[in-house]
Chains A and B, each alone.
Chain A
Amino acid sequence: MSTVAGRRVLAQLIRRPLGLLSLGVFAAYALIAVGVWLGWWGSAWFELAGPMWAPPSPEHWLGTNRLGQDILMRAVASTATAFEIAVPVALLSTLIGALAGGAAGYFSHGWLDEFLLWLMGTLDAIPFYLLVVALAFALQGHAWTMHLAMIAVFWTTTARLVRAETQRIRELPYIDAARVSGLAPAQIIGRHILPNTMAILLVQGTLVFIAAIKVEVVLSFLGIGTQDSISWGLMIAEGAQEILIGQYWNFIAASLFLFVLVMAFNLLADQLQDVLDPRSLDARAHRHA
């Protein structure tokens, strides 16, 4: 998709109330994350800033946790963690899905296609969390375990959709023209087919972004996700214990930060789908709990 088309999509999104709202929320979260990376705020999330279990106050808007750390600051710092996981996972699994889907669709029913279909079927056949947990087991302690596990699972849906679309595009006359003019398959796929699957890639990218954030929370909650850092999942895991003794702020803060971002992205995915392809069926016929 050219930048012109990209700008048109953006313009249409902004014209829709829900599109504008979801983009605005996303921009706000992105700003929070960038601010954490640049050290504007949130970098002192581990400091003991006040008394333990302090209620919300002007100094600590959402109170403090059992060590006296500022809960809001931890939730803010966790935003950066969420982006550090979701952005690379969304980009890489979409890229891999596009390349695999493009190759499988272009050479459909060849050996490469058969192999990729087999691989996708195999990966989809193992219950998701079990595969992630097994990967975490195999790659114990590796810093990229979580990213790898998610990418290994998330690329298949994109690849299936791109494969089907590529099979359709491949039969169009302009692809014949490109072939006759002597372009190699890789060039045809990269330059003439994949750009026309951009609608699928954009929507899938947003859906994977959501899934990655939700899965990080689950894995961190289980204790096999984020290590040596702070994340909404870790806060929720702390909160789960604290609720039993009547302390709710950790849980509420992390849940709200998480919910608003995921909700905005769900709405954004819907709006994107409407703008890009009003006829398309619901691509979310999928599984991530």
Chain B
Amino acid sequence: MTRAPDLLVFSLRKLAGAMPLIVGVTLISFLLTVYFGPDPTHALLGKNPTAAEVAQLSAELGRDRSAPAQYLDYLRRLLTLDLGHSMVTGEPVRAMLARTIPVSLLLLLPGFVLGTILALVMAAVAAWYRGGWVDRMISGVSVVGMSLSFVVILIGLQAVFGVWLGWFPVRGWNVTTLPQYLHHVAVPTLAFIVASLGYNTRFFRAVLVAELNSDQVRNARAFGAGPVRLMLVHVIGNSLLPILTRTLFSVPLLVLSGSLLIESHFGIPGVGKITFDAVMSGDQPVLMAVVGLSAVLFVITVTVTDLLCRLVDPRLRQE
């Protein structure tokens, strides 16, 4: 068995196959944030610059070169993590990311993990009693959850737990100890769970019901497997591929889309907040880095998902 090199070859081939995607994604982020984005030259120079000053800064920013040259330069800077400085605060973008990404992860991870587990449990219960009143109730709750806007959930929970009950802070991120962390993370976590539960439960339920109707499950049942063993080993075990794919694919989306909303609303200094601020103030280097890196993160996620699927499902290993 030459498993390790085999895996290495596989992941390298996957990454090579993802090249067009990386090119596409970085091209779009380049076009949006650099090429078509507002020209920062005048914003940086202040009032009444001379033509020479404009030309000099243009050259410094690289805006006087051809689009392909600018794009290649953009790629090179992304790959070498040479991300420049924020135009607003002057802070190195790399330092900003290093400061904010952990905050976003801490903020979103509990909701993501708990939400996924809870959705799986609800889906398993609904699938087990499919067609019955329990299933219909869970389906009803899911549709209601899907119909609630994330913004409404956020504000509603903030109103209930922050303003009425006063249990949790209404905004900010003043975290140095574990109790403080739990205190601050509670409302965002709850909001995240409520927002994702409906969609996830529905998806998982459909997957589990399809598996429950399969021959192998009927077989296992005939051999006397109890409900818990049947559900955990035979149904969820065999549905790991779609479950894993969906869960992992939502990670990049979650990190940015989720944190953008939660952080800008609660005033939490995560990566979503600096992205939002960068949009509002036209801070090109920050935006450029976030869009480009998140796209690269997505490609990496796709590759990792493929790898994990191969580990989970022996059939995928014999090509």
Contact = CB atoms under 8 A, between A and B. Distances in A.
B252 interface: yes
B10 interface: no
Contact of B33 (A138, A244, A248, A251): A138
Contacts of A126: 25, 28-29, 291, 294-295, 298
Given A137-B282, A140-B38, A282-B202, A125 B21 contact: yes
A221 B149 CA distance: 11
Interface stretch (A50-58, A127-135, A196-204): A127-135
A289 B196 contact: yes
Interface in A14-49: none
Contacts of B203: 282, 284-285
Contacts of B170: 244
Task: Report the contact-size class of chain B (Cβ under 8 Å from the partner).
Answer: 35 or more
Interface stretch (A88-96, A114-122, A158-166, A167-175): A114-122
A248 B163 CA distance: 12
A274 B38 CA distance: 47
Nearest to B143: A266
Contact of B163 (A139, A244, A282): A244
B214 interface: no
Contacts of B29: 126, 134
Contact of A236 (B25, B155, B282, B290): B155
Given A126-B28, A222-B261, A266-B143, A243 B155 contact: yes
B24 A284 contact: no
Nearest to B155: A240
A278 B25 CA distance: 37
Contacts of B159: 243, 248, 251
A138 B202 contact: no
A225 to B, nearest CB: 11
B147 A259 contact: yes
Contacts of B83: none
A136 interface: yes
B25 A125 contact: yes
Interface in A99-156: 118-119, 121-123, 125-131, 133-140
B111 to A, nearest CB: 12
Given A255-B152, A259-B147, A263-B143, A137 B24 contact: no
Contact of B261 (A129, A136, A224, A267): A129
B274 to A, nearest CB: 12
B193 interface: no
B151 interface: yes
Given A130-B256, A137-B279, A255-B156, A287 B37 contact: no
Contacts of A236: 149, 151-152, 155
B257 A258 contact: no
A284 B199 contact: yes
Given A121-B21, A240-B265, A263 B144 contact: yes
Given A122-B24, A285-B246, A289-B257, 6 more contacts: A137-B38, A217-B152, A233-B151, A259-B147, A284-B202, A285-B206
Interface of B: 20-21, 24-25, 27-29, 31-33, 36-38, 143-144, 146-152, 155-156, 158-159, 163, 170, 195-196, 199, 202-203, 206, 246, 250, 252-253, 255-258, 260-261, 264-265, 275-276, 279-280, 282, 287, 290-291, 294-295, 298-299, 302
Interface of A: 118-119, 121-123, 125-131, 133-140, 214, 217-218, 221-224, 233, 236, 239-240, 243-244, 246, 248, 251, 255, 258-259, 262-263, 266-267, 270, 281-282, 284-287, 289
